[in-house]
Chain A
Amino acid sequence: MELLANLGIGFSAALDPTNLLYCFVGVLLGTLVGVLPGIGPTATIAMLLPITFSFEPVTALIMLAGIYYGAQYGGSTTAILINLPGESSSAVTAIDGYEMAKQGRAGPALATAALGSFFAGTVATLILAVAAPPLARAALNFGAPEYFSLIVLGLLASIALAHGSVLKALAMIVLGLLLGMVGQDIYTGTPRFTFGFFELYSGINFVSVAVGVFGVAEILRNLEHETTRDVLVKKVENLWLTKDDFKRIIAPVLRGTALGSVLGILPGGGHVLSSFASYSFEKRISKHPETFGKGAIEGVAGPESANNAGAQTSFIPMLTLGIPAHPVMALMIGAFIIQGITPGPNVINDEPILFWGIIVSMWVGNLMLVLLNLPLIGLWVKLLTIPYKVLFPAIIAFACIGCYSINLNVFDVYAIVVFGFIGYLLVKLGCEPAPLLLGFVLGPLLEEHLRRAMIISRGDPMIFVERPISAVLLAFAVAAVVVAVLPSVRRKREEVFVEDD
């Protein structure tokens, strides 16, 4: 068995005491930066890259990879506890996770996130080990038209599933798309909606938007009236999952893992869709869609598994073809080059210890994360018993520090204030911030792929239906709309993004 031999090589590299130590350092750092709102893995890896110069290549890459997937774990913690997602993926976790926390079920929510992520991480690591090269090759069939159709499907699926306020959800997505347009046009360099602000040339910072419309808006709402404030925790019921909880999360975890694994392999940014897609899907097939947005544990289990699976499989294009799926993978490629290894299809043959060592270390790191995170749940939940008047200034301070640290730009901090008030206004108008965030994240991708496809086809829109994968995706998108319009289905239709009532 070649696979076993390869995994053997991997285990001997990953279990080397030095590598084990740096794997732990990586996942610990990752968890910490994930927990601190704003400071993401990209900034952390960029800062730590020079330190890894003196390491062995395999040690350096194991640590950097650990930071990345560690941050995916940590990011959900603040989303669940204080409605403060640090990354687009945890924005989805915040929807039901925060509701669970408000009902005193922060413990089970955190445990679900940790267990779901671990399971997904294990499966995705196996996929990486067994089938990385052919999968990466298959993913290359995804060109601009396919990505465009995939994003259209993602956007339409979430509109079609929105309830009552379809119009408001649609408006939020469009507003998000428009916000995503801010900055320089990538094809011509023309500044759009920059209003003379130099800082807006590179677009609005995602963290500013997320922290503003979720976290700060929630704080403003809570401060509104002493009497109507949601007491953050009424009572902490239990820290661990009940038997019933386990039953409810098994299927969503499995589906989330499958969905995330597939989307993560796409090098053109499929992983950003994974948690949104999983949430929409879980709600769509649920027998009790009305519980979503009110603390449904399935709404935490699915997206968290999808997110972690996607994070793991997004290593596939990088490790097997030397192409980055997102900024963190670009940094990892930089780390390869600095170590004197040319990333590309040769790595798997020329550097087997490195290749298999990284893969096995991901599983080891995921195990460490579970062992690290489960005992911490009690500690995190205690955080919620802090009086609100102490907690909210601390949240705002940490969010601002985190946001500032990304680009060392005070403009991003002012943007939090602006988006905080916008978010508050939206809450008052009964609009949901999650579709806005989805539009904001996917808008630039939608535009990029639409225009690229049109350039490649020389202005012929038929390219979207002539290419089979694209045509199938668009057919699904049409189906999603039809399903939403059919009256019998409409009765059952519920909002996919529930923020408040």
Chain B
Amino acid sequence: MKKLTTALLAAAAMTSVSAGIAFAQADYPTSPVTIVVPFAAGGPTDTVTRLIAEPMSAELGQQVIVQNVAGAGGTLAGTQVANAPADGYQILMHHIGMSTAPTLYPDLAYNPLEDFEMIGLVTNVPMTVIARKDFEPNTFEELVTYVQENADSVTYANAGIGAASHLCGLLFMSAIDTQVTTVPYQGTGPAMTDLLGGQVDFMCDQTTNTTGQITSGEVKGYAVTTPERLDALPDLPTTAEAGLEEFQVGVWHGLYAPAGTPPEVIEKLTAALQTALQDENVITRFAELGTRPVSLEEATPEAHEAYLSEQIDLWAPIIEAAGEMAQQ
């Protein structure tokens, strides 16, 4: 009797599963959608994700859950989502690291362009070059000269391999043609701690992490890496103004679904993303973080894919020249 019940239950369960697949695309989403964030909770990427998750929930009619899968410069989360069912219930928020991972990690378990469907770009967070309060140079020009002259003693902090601060440092060193000692940390928090304590000399990080410290005078701000000055930090010149046009970098964020996700599902996700990017609260909060949502044309799968492949090509030679690949 017990066996029969089990068999009946199993049969019922299987029927409902197959029915579920048939209706999946039309009904999507019928259960909560998870956005996997490849970095620790509380970080800038996490904040950006949590801010858009709320209006996306409203648009999709289902709870959007943020899950943090930190580790290995974001590639742990990338691998997880690349191998997730292609049903749109598990998607990935990733930043610029998506375009550098193939070069940084020769054994990477996924191909950013082939193993994902793009949903759209989200925002491009500006970066700032900052230093400990008592660091000698006072302007960005002085910093460049100082670093070039004291390359043997200057230390640069970053938040770990593949982090935005790591990439920004590589681009800076490539632009001024000088290599300095890089001190890696596990995340921006500990790196900032040591910068405040004067244990390291300078770093480059997203405005989300640095604006408060710059305005309070706890660290020295030199420049922003965007084409225009920022409303949140009007006194900070751009790197171009300071004479280093080739040093421009932003932490762009995009949303990804596993390859093979049905186009109808992607469409709904893109629509939800676009709604979120027009949300008043999102715009205000992004501004407080020193950034703004991308335009609606950029928040599309097509623009996202084009930008991703452009960025992969940009970073590969810089990373290879620095010899900064992870040894496997």
Contacts and interface: CB of A to CB of B under 8 A. Distances in A.
Interface of A: 46, 49-50, 53, 140-144, 184, 186-191, 198, 201-202, 267-268, 317, 321-324, 327, 330-335, 337-338, 340, 342-346, 407, 448, 452, 455-456, 458
Interface in B284-322: 284-285, 288-289
Contacts of A141: 197
B50 A186 contact: no
Q: Which of A321, A330, A337, A448 has the most CB of B within 10 A?
A: A337
Interface string B100-126: 000011000100000000000000000
A346 B212 contact: yes
B186 interface: yes
B99 interface: no
Given A141-B197, A268-B193, A334-B46, A340 B181 contact: no
Given A187-B161, A188-B326, 5 more contacts: A50-B54, A201-B72, A267-B193, A452-B185, A458-B181
Given A140-B197, A458-B181, A342 B68 contact: no
B288 A340 contact: yes
A53 B64 CA distance: 13
Contacts of A456: 155, 181, 183, 199-200
A334 B197 contact: no
Contacts of B182: 455
B213 A322 contact: yes
Nearest to B160: A186
Nearest to B71: A202
B215 A140 contact: no
B43 A334 contact: yes
Nearest to A267: B193
Contact of A334 (B41, B72, B213): B41
B183 A455 contact: yes
Interface in B155-204: 155, 160-162, 181-187, 189-190, 192-194, 196-200
A140 B200 CA distance: 12
17 contacts: A46-B68, A184-B71, A187-B184, A188-B326, A189-B162, A189-B327, A201-B72, A267-B190, A322-B192, A322-B213, A323-B190, A334-B42, A334-B43, A334-B46, A334-B47, A337-B42, A452-B184
Given A331-B41, A340-B285, A188 B54 contact: no
Contacts of A321: 193, 196, 218
Contacts of A338: 47, 50-51, 285
A344 B71 contact: no
A344 B218 contact: yes
A186 B328 contact: no
B40 interface: yes
A49 B41 contact: yes
A189 B213 contact: no
B76 interface: yes
B327 A334 contact: no
Contact of A189 (B47, B105, B289): B105
A50 B193 CA distance: 27
Interface of B: 40-43, 46-47, 50-51, 53-54, 65-66, 68-73, 76, 79, 104-105, 109, 155, 160-162, 181-187, 189-190, 192-194, 196-200, 208, 211-213, 215-216, 218, 284-285, 288-289, 326-328
6 nearest A-B residue pairs (beta carbon): A334-B42, A344-B212, A140-B197, A189-B326, A342-B212, A143-B199
B320 to A, nearest CB: 16
A49 B50 contact: yes
Contacts of B50: 49-50, 53, 334, 338
Contacts of B288: 340, 342
Given A46-B41, A340-B288, A317 B193 contact: yes
B138 to A, nearest CB: 21
A186 B284 CA distance: 36
Contacts of A331: 41-42
Contacts of B104: 189
A188 B181 contact: no
Contacts of A187: 161, 184
B197 A50 contact: no
B40 A330 contact: yes
B147 to A, nearest CB: 16
Contacts of A337: 42, 47, 208, 289
Nearest to A444: B186
Given A333-B189, A340-B288, A456-B155, A346 B215 contact: yes
Contacts of B40: 327, 330
B197 A330 contact: no
B161 A189 contact: yes
Contact of A190 (B189, B200, B326): B326
Contacts of A46: 41, 68
Contacts of A142: 197
Nearest to A318: B189
Contacts of A188: 161, 326-327
Contacts of A201: 71-72, 76
Contacts of B185: 452
A323 B41 contact: no
Contacts of B218: 321, 344-345
Contacts of B183: 452, 455-456
Contacts of B216: 344-346
A407 B65 CA distance: 14
Given A188-B327, A337-B289, A140 B42 contact: no
B41 A330 contact: yes
Nearest to A321: B196
A501 B103 CA distance: 55
Contact of B72 (A189, A267, A324, A342): A189
A46 B53 CA distance: 14
